[in-house]
Amino acid sequence: MNDTADLVQSWKVTLPCTRAEAEALESDIAAFSMMDRPPVLMTSEAEPDNDDSWRLEAYFEGKPSAAAVKLLRTLVPSATRIRPAIEQLPNEDWVTLSQQGLEPVTAGRFHVRNLPGDPELPGHVNFLIGASRAFGTGQHETTSGCLMMLDRMHRIGMRFRNVADIGTGTGLLAFAALRLWPRAQATASDIDPVAVEVSADNARANGVRLGAVAGQVILCMAAGADHPVITGRAPYDLLIANILAGPLIELAPSLCALVEEGGTIVLAGLLKEQADAVLAAYRAQGMRLAERSDRGDWPTLRLRKRPRIGWKRPRRINSAERGEAWGFGSI
């Protein structure tokens, strides 16, 4: 998987911007959230101490469309009359390049650093999740929102023994759950085989044991819930899905079927304006909203399964019921 021939060609679009525009941007922008592979946005000073001389760099997986470039231009009005620099990058890992040097993130009791040289934060649960070919370094509000939700659930006394992380990305949320509930067993899956490989590397780097018993996490590649490891280890008392609104809605029947009566689902990856549609899909499966926490435009939802809805494995009658949702990855 490390051969350059296996890496998707990456492109970079660069535009000048002001410091005020740079500060208004975040690592991932809501405007791009409906794209299968949204760009990673980075801002930096072009000239030190010059507030009007900053730059915006957008890293795309594949050549950006004219519509994507047009949308990018709307984020920096000061560059309206300036032609963007669009370049094809060498066959290198675009996610790794774009994530180099990210600042550490603290979310609840968790402290996630990107570089080995970054110091650990005393009194916190520290993770090293380096720049990689998968998403989920803790930088995005959806990931940090999930970390804070898990932390809060632990603080109010919630206990779990069987955890699933669907769309795991770097494995971070599954690792965090195991640190909070070390006697639990964890299952982490992703549609992207690279993410599964990265998660295994991160598990070793952070002392997380791989395996199928309590205190360990088992990894698998799956489109949604359609995998014998995922269904075979059900029912879960905690299921985490940090993906996108479309797949969350499509997967609602199969994900809810994997959760035991009274069990908890944590959902993220949706925008504020998508929350009602996502909630409606899960309420139809017997879930109720227990808590909602918004970080910017990105809510994190904690749902509980009503006891009157029993668990059963997903039926495989047609493609809509197979628990598959292609074309998504973790955030």
Show binding-site residues for S-adenosyl-L-methionine. Answer: 143, 167, 190, 242
Binding residues: 143, 167, 190, 242
Beta-ladder partners of 86: 13
Q: CB-based contacts of 293: which residues, under 8 Å, 6+ apart?
A: 145, 148, 149, 152, 299, 300
Q: By three-state DSSP, how is residue 27 classified?
A: coil
Residues 6+ apart with CB under 8 A from 43: 17, 22, 25, 54, 55, 56, 57
Q: Are 91 and 9 in contact (CB under 8 A)?
A: yes
The encoded tokens of residue 181 equal: 């509930």
The beta-carbon contacts of 152-160 under 8 Å, at least 24 apart in sequence, are 152/108, 152/291, 152/293, 153/180, 153/264, 153/302, 154/180, 154/181, 158/264, 160/184, 160/237, 160/238, 160/264
Peptide bond into 235 cis (omega under 30): yes
User: Which single residue is written with the structure tokens 């996610």?
Assistant: 95
Q: Supply the DSSP symbol for 64.
A: P
Task: Tell me how far apart the alpha carbons of residues 275 and 193 are, in angstroms, rounded to a whole number.
Answer: 29
Q: Which are the contacts of 213, defined by CB distance < 8 A and separation ≥ 6?
A: 185
DSSP category for residue 313: P
